[in-house]
Structure 1
Amino acid sequence: MAKQRAAKAQGQALSKNGYGQYLLKLAGGNIMSGLVKLIDLLSLGDDRGSLVALEANKTVPFDIKRVYYIFGTKAEVARGFHAHKALKQVAVCVTGSCRMVLDNGKHKETVWLDSPTKGLVIEDLVWREMHDFSPTACY
C-alpha cells in the first residue's frame, strides 16, 4: 500500500501484469519491477514498413558503445551465462521471441522479449541468460 501511495504521489500508476507481479509504470512508458527494466521504443512507419531508432541518452538511457545482434539460434540452445562488471546493455528481440533470465545474486527474474518496440535494460553486475529462441528470433 505504501508503494501505491508513493507512486500515486509521484504521478505514477501501479499496474499488475498477467502473472500477478506488480509493476511500476513510470512516466514515458517505462516499466520496472526489481531487475526487469523495460523501455518502450517508438516505432515509426507506414505501408512501406516500420523503423525504430535507438539514440544514446534519449531512447537508450546511457551512451551506446557497441551494437551487436544474435540470430539463427536453435530453440534448445541457451546463450549468455555471464555478467559484466561495468557495462549496461539494452536487449531487444527485433523479430521472434526469447526468454531472458536475470539474476543479481539476491533476486532472479524472467522476462520474455517478443517485440521490436520493447527494450530490456540490463545493468552491470547482473547475470543474464537467453533461452527458448523462436525460429525467427533476432536478438
Structure 2
Amino acid sequence: METFIKQYTTTKLTDLELIEIPKIKDSRGNLAVIEKECIPFEIKRVYYLYDVPSDAFRGGHAHKELFQFLIPLSGSFEVRLKDGEEERLVSLNKPDKGLLITPGIWREIENFSSGSVCLVLASDVYDEADYIRNFDEFLLFKGL
C-alpha cells in the first residue's frame, strides 16, 4: 500500500482534467449522462455541497489515494488547486463539465454563487486516514 500511496506524491496540476460530460440535447431540456467510460474510476461514494455561503470555503485538504470528480449541478464555484509548487484556480459553472482531481492535490472550494450545488463523485467510501488536512503535512507528503 505504501508503494501505491508513494506514486501520488509526484502528482502535478497538469494531472488534473476538465472532462466534458456527454449530453443529449432535446427541445425539452438537456440530459447529461455519467457512465463508467466518462471518469477513470469506479464510483463508490456520492455527495453534494449546497447552501454554502458565498464567503465560505469547503475542502482545505488533500487525499492520499482518493480520486474525486466535481460537477457544478447548479450555479458556480471556484476550485483552488495546489500541488506544492504551483497553484491554479478553476471556475466551474456548467453542469456538463466536471473537474477530475487526482490524489496528492490540495483543494479549496470557494466563491459559491447563490443556489449553487457541487456534486462530488468519489473513488472510495469515507476514510479519515486518507485525508491530509494540514498544508505543512501536505508539503511533507509531497516531499517538499
Q: Normalising to structure 2: TM-score of the pair?
A: 0.69
Mind listing any 5+ residue stretches in structure 2 that lack a counterpart?
Answer: 1-12, 119-144
User: Does the 8 Å CA contact 2:50/2:116 hold for their aligned counterparts?
Assistant: yes
Question: Bigger CA drift: 117-126 or 47-56?
Answer: 47-56
Q: Normalising to structure 1: TM-score of the pair?
A: 0.71
2:68 pairs with 1:89: yes
Cα separation, partners in 2 of 1:90 and 1:118, compared to 1, 3 Å: same
> After the TM superposition, which residues 46-125 of structure 1 pair with which residues of structure 2 at under 5 Å, given as runs?
46-56=26-36, 58-125=37-104
- Looking at structure 2, the residues matched to 94 and 45 of structure 1 have their Cα atoms a distance apart, in angstroms, of 16
Mind listing any 5+ residue stretches in structure 1 that lack a counterpart?
Answer: 1-32
Aligned residues: CA RMSD: 1.4
- Looking at structure 2, the residues matched to 46 and 105 of structure 1 have their Cα atoms a distance apart, in angstroms, of 44
Greater relative contact order (Cα < 8 A, sep 6+)? 2
Cα separation, partners in 2 of 1:35 and 1:103, compared to 1, 3 Å: farther
More helix by share: 2
User: Does the 8 Å CA contact 1:35/1:109 hold for their aligned counterparts?
Assistant: no
Identity %, equivalent residues: 37
Match of 1:128 in 2: 107
- Looking at structure 1, the residues matched to 26 and 52 of structure 2 have their Cα atoms a distance apart, in angstroms, of 30
User: Does the 8 Å CA contact 2:75/2:117 hold for their aligned counterparts?
Assistant: yes
- Looking at structure 2, the residues matched to 35 and 98 of structure 1 have their Cα atoms a distance apart, in angstroms, of 21
Aligned residues: 106
Q: Report SS of the residue matched to 2:100.
A: strand
Match of 2:127 in 1: none
2:24 pairs with 1:44: yes
> After the TM superposition, which residues 19-38 of structure 1 pair with which residues of structure 2 at under 5 Å, given as runs?
34=14, 36-38=16-18
For residue 113 of structure 1, report the CA deviation from its aligned partner: 0.4
- Looking at structure 1, the residues matched to 25 and 84 of structure 2 have their Cα atoms a distance apart, in angstroms, of 41
